[in-house]
Amino acid sequence: MPVPPAPSDRLSARGWAVLLVLSSAIFLEGIDISMMGVALPSIRADLGMSTSSLQWVVSAYVLGYGGFVLLGGRAADLLGRRRMFVLWLTVFLLFSGLGGLATDGWMLIVARFVTGVAAAFMTPAGLSIITTTFAEGPQRNRALLVYAGIAAGGFSLGMVTGGLLTAIGWRWVFFAPVILAAAILTAALRLIPHDTPPERTGAGYDIGGTLSLTAAMLLLVYTVVMLPEVAPASTAATAVAGVALLALFVTIERRSRTPLLRLGLLRSAPLVRANIGAMMLVGGFVGFQFVAVLYLQEFRGWSEMETGLALMVLGLDAILAPTLTPVLVRRFGNPAVIVTGLALAVVSYALFLRLGADWTYAAMLPSFLVLSVAFALSYGPLTIAATDGVAEEEQGLASGVLTTSFQFGSALGLAVVTAVVVAGSGADGAGLDTFRTALLVPLAGAAIGVLVTGSGLRRRRGSAVAAAPQADAAAEKVSA
């Protein structure tokens, strides 16, 4: 009996075109987030915003994104992935432009909230188009690794781009995404194939589940975002309310004939491990980047441009993810590559704990290089693990769950690190000891990620060992 050829990860020319359109959208989303941090001081000066209101320029986006992303994933499955991607990319374009035209702080905050909501619907729709367009296996893995690499590159390069655009004028941080979004929208209308939403005859939509889940996510993300700003009692109250709404959501889903989220999806141990790993990876990365920026700009006095150029090396993951990572996944398997990447993140954060008052860039570079490799090895394979084996009609939902993990992880990592820095800062700002204490947060997050994803690797090996005697016995019967 001839041996079937190994599945190929080659993509057709049209496949590459579709992939690049969708990857450009996630690049747009990543660069839009990271550019904002560099522009905030100029925005405050021009619009006369207070420090407390300024943080809502960032928090409003995170709140809209994290609050609606699960709903966005399910909407892609029920209403059509292409339709949701194109519609919400248009909304993203319009409200990004509105942000650039804002003449008052509240206008900018509202624009950022709606832009976050647009990203919450657009991102899982785009990811689920990839997972349903490319066949499961090497081809889909290759596509997801390219997608993840470009996403990470957008986030890493955003600070440099933001510094250049802010030097011209902070409004260009909003207008530049409008130009890029218009180009992506034009290509998407031509290249992304139409899909047919499933028939839903005889049953309505899960309105109760939708409202309870969205409210729960908004409250939980609000709790995390405001953690450094409000009293512990307020944090506890909003957290309890969010958990209570989640419990209500679960009750509704169990009784619904057409649930928004099939709870059985969350019983998949590999999916849960992948999402926890994603939360720890991104939370640690965002927290580390925040500490590094504070150290370089406020403690060392580097400019925004110098800081952006220093951190640009983190963008190497955009090159490594589609080139090195697929080779390692084929050779060692997806779980082993994920664990290795998270372990390298632990090493990177530990190396940066040695930071000194007069550290040279050469002393910092090993941490940045190791972290870029860590992100390249983990981000894409976690995306594969979180969507692998999920039925096509639930790919949007699985993508929404993963995007929720990324967003909630980034909000949690940033909130906890900020709380540590604020608590340890004196009249002259944060010192080296405070930075070292704050660095323990991403270090702990990466270590938790290693333990959680590594448990799956051990179970996988245990199953293989247990299956080996059975396979040997079967072979002996055949030979007999």
Q: Tell me: the pLDDT tens digits for 248-296?
A: 988 988 888 777 777 777 788 888 999 999 999 988 988 898 888 888 8
- What is the mean pLDDT of the segment spanning 234-238? 90
Query: Quick one: tokens of 112?
Result: 């950022």
Q: What is the C-alpha to C-alpha distance for residues 31 and 200, in angstroms, rounded to an integer?
A: 37
Q: How far apart are CA 58 and CA 410, in angstroms?
A: 12
Token representation of residue 262 = 């099939």
Both tokens of residue 360? 């040279």
Q: pLDDT of 180-217, one tens digit each?
A: 999 999 999 999 988 877 665 444 567 788 788 888 88
Q: Report the alpha-carbon distance of residue 127 to residue 209 in Å, rounded.
A: 23
Burial of 420 (C-beta count, 10 Å sphere; 0-12/13-18/19+): buried
Q: How far apart are CA 225 and CA 342, in angstroms?
A: 25
Mean pLDDT, range 13-36, rounded to an integer: 88
Give the confidence band of 456 by pLDDT, cuts at 50, 70, 90: confident
The residue with tokens 């096509």 is: 392
pLDDT at 3 over 50: no
The set of long-range contacts for 359-366, using a CB threshold of 8 Å and a minimum separation of 24, is 361/310, 364/292, 364/310, 365/313
Strand partners, 426: 429
Q: Extract the tokens encoding 201.
A: 């005859």
What pLDDT was estimated at residue 258?
A: 74
Half-sphere CA count of 458, side-chain side, radius 13 A: 6
Residue 53's φ and ψ, nearest 5 degrees, are -75, -30
Question: pTM for this one?
Answer: 0.79
CA dihedral over 305, 308, 313, 318, signed as positive or negative:
negative
Amino acid in position 399: S
> Do residues 403 and 350 lie in contact, with contact meaning Cβ atoms separated by under 8 Å?
no
51-79 vs 81-101: helix crossing angle, rounded to 10: 160
Which domains does the chain possess?
A: 14-193 (1.20.1250.20), 207-260 (no CATH), 265-463 (1.20.1250.20)
**Calpha distance 220→78 (Å, rounded):** 25
Residue 477: its pLDDT value, please? 46
The answer to whether 399 and 355 are in contact (CB under 8 A) is no
Alpha helices by DSSP H, listed for 203-268, are 207-225, 232-255
pLDDT of residue 420: 86
